[in-house]
Amino acid sequence: MSIDERFNLSEEELEAMHNERIAKATVNRAITGPVSDWTSDWSHTEPEWAADPYPIQADLRQRCPIAHTERFGGAWLPTRHDDIAEIAYDTERFSSRAVVVGNIRPMMELAPVGATPPISSDPPFHHEARKLLLPAFTKSNVANLEPATRAFCHELIDSFAGKDVIDAAHDYAQYIPMRVIADMLGFPPEDQEQFREFIHHALEGINGTLEEQIAGMGKLADYIMGQVYDHLENPRDDLTSYLLGCEMGGEKLDPFHVTGTMVLLLIAGIDTTWSAIGASLWHLAKTEADRRRLAAEPDLLPTAMEEFLRAFAPVTMARLVREDMEWKGVQMKAEDWVLLSFPAANRDPAKFDRADEVVIDREVNKHAAFGLGIHRCVGSHLARMELRVALEVWMQRIPEFTLADPAAVTWAAGQVRGPRSLPLRISPNNVTSLSQ
């Protein structure tokens, strides 16, 4: 079967395939509104969680280390590092068929591939699917992307000329991974407004109506298919053309494997790093001692960066329970969600000394910001490079900055938490020139 034949489907055939997936999915009624008790009614989509989840997690760790909720059709929330790690490594009892807790559970027939391989894949399929992506995300390949990333960061800061206040989340942090991942996939960088919409629907719109979610998925699917057709007609040296030419077991990839992986790289490749850059700048803006120390000791930045990743880990993943069982004294049912809060794992005092403090010279820092187990982030080298370069350029060009209005800072709700509005005061006189 040629590459073209895999995608030689009419709009009606594609729509029928998507409709079959939706028809076989399990859909639960969305339960929204204030949380009545975090031990039995938790929700990671509520404003209180988005604004500051750490006191909630600390309280649960003491009172109810494996909390439950009837929202999302039933879900569990472990908050101790060792419990989170044990589930992350246990692929026999917990499936990765879906990794975003929501009111729609995808049809069981998707296993072991899942909708967005390899993050949604179970063994043994996962191993081969992940292996396909490794070459693109090696340290050497990522190093090749650094000069262009650094130049783009300077371009963004050049655009701040004459401004007293800028939104660092919107005007800086988000655009860096958008440009990098668009270049890697071979997508037009001018489509970044669409990328933001896709991210919102995929990660923050989980309590929307079924019709809204189907519409959001449809827009994303249409965009991805448009990129597929463009790359089939005009092959080039990028990840999309690479995926179209990949083989597993001597055969070209299934079309849903190709498009699902493209969705994964687009969504996960942007939102996570956007959030990490924003959270790091938020901390430095409100913590004068750390900001001035990093300005005076730039060699400390790689160590500080790891601490920002630990303290403000943006990503939370999910698993689905495979069958009814008792686990650590709680009765889990088949198809229950389990929300793996890596941010909670990183704040566990049983694992980290001074766990709730940001210690920018912390030497031993085995954090879980990039996940644990076989699904540990395949793009960790890329994310680290983007975060490091973004902070290096910012601290070089804007060493003095503060929160313009702490109350105006807003955070994304859901499974990727980071600032979505971050107004910073930057005196134009303090923005150093590129030549310095």
The answer to the question of residue 435 being in a domain is no
pLDDT of residue 11: 73
The pLDDT tens digits for 336-372 are 999 999 999 999 999 999 999 999 999 999 999 999 9
The answer to the question of residue 88 being in a domain is yes
pLDDT of residue 251: 94
319 bridge partner residues: 338
Burial class of residue 32 in the structure, from the number of CB atoms within 10 Å of its CB (0-12 exposed, 13-18 middle, 19+ buried): exposed
Q: Which residues of 68-93 are buried (b: 16+ CB within 10 A; e: fewer)?
A: bbebbbebbbbbbbebbbbbbeebee
| Distance, CA of 268 to CA of 285 (rounded, Å) | 26
pLDDT of residue 163: 96
Find the CATH number of the domain harbouring 149: 1.10.630.10
pLDDT of residue 240: 98
| pLDDT value at 396 more than 80 | yes
pLDDT of residue 435: 41
Proportion of the chain above pLDDT 70, given as a percent = 97
The answer to the question of residue 329 being in a domain is yes
The answer to the question of residue 60 being in a domain is yes
| Distance, CA of 403 to CA of 150 (rounded, Å) | 24
| Distance, CA of 10 to CA of 72 (rounded, Å) | 34
| pLDDT value at 1 more than 50 | no
Contact between 302 and 385 under an 8 Å Cβ cutoff? The reply is: no
CA-based nearest residue to 96, from 80, 76, 112 = 112
| pLDDT value at 2 more than 60 | no
**How many CB atoms sit inside 10 A of residue 189's CB?**
14
Q: Distances in Å between the alpha carbon of 194 and those of 65, 187, 198, 377?
A: 39, 11, 6, 24
| Distance, CA of 102 to CA of 327 (rounded, Å) | 22
| pLDDT value at 38 more than 90 | yes
The pLDDT tens digits for 278-314 are 999 999 999 999 999 999 999 999 999 999 999 999 9
> Which carries the bigger pLDDT value, residue 62 or residue 4?
62
3-state SS, residue 199: helix
Q: What is the DSSP letter of 253?
A: P
pLDDT of residue 83: 99
Contact between 62 and 77 under an 8 Å Cβ cutoff? The reply is: no
Amino acid identity, residue 344? A
CA 94-267-282 angle, 5° bins: 100
Amino acid identity, residue 202? A
Whether the upstream peptide bond of residue 47 has omega within 30° of 0, thus cis, is no
Contact between 61 and 344 under an 8 Å Cβ cutoff? The reply is: yes
The answer to the question of residue 238 being in a domain is yes
CA 297-301-302 angle, 5° bins: 140
Whether the upstream peptide bond of residue 112 has omega within 30° of 0, thus cis, is yes
Burial class of residue 164 in the structure, from the number of CB atoms within 10 Å of its CB (0-12 exposed, 13-18 middle, 19+ buried): exposed
pLDDT of residue 101: 98
CA-based nearest residue to 101, from 215, 210, 219, 203 = 203
pTM listed for this prediction: 0.96
Q: What is the mean pLDDT of residues 165-170?
A: 98
Q: Structural domain of residue 8, as residue ranges?
A: 3-430
Chain centre distance of CA 331: 29
The answer to the question of residue 242 being in a domain is yes
The answer to the question of residue 144 being in a domain is yes
- Chain mean pLDDT for the chain: 95
Contact between 372 and 342 under an 8 Å Cβ cutoff? The reply is: yes
Question: How many domains does the structure of the chain reveal?
Answer: 1
The pLDDT tens digits for 113-154 are 999 999 999 999 999 999 999 999 999 999 999 999 999 999
The pLDDT tens digits for 53-105 are 999 999 999 999 999 999 999 999 999 999 999 999 999 999 999 999 999 99
Contact between 120 and 96 under an 8 Å Cβ cutoff? The reply is: yes
Q: What is the CA radius of gyration of the chain?
A: 22
pLDDT of residue 434: 52
> Which carries the bigger pLDDT value, residue 284 or residue 213?
284
| Distance, CA of 317 to CA of 283 (rounded, Å) | 24
pLDDT interval class at 12 (50, 70, 90): confident
CA-based nearest residue to 53, from 270, 345, 320 = 345
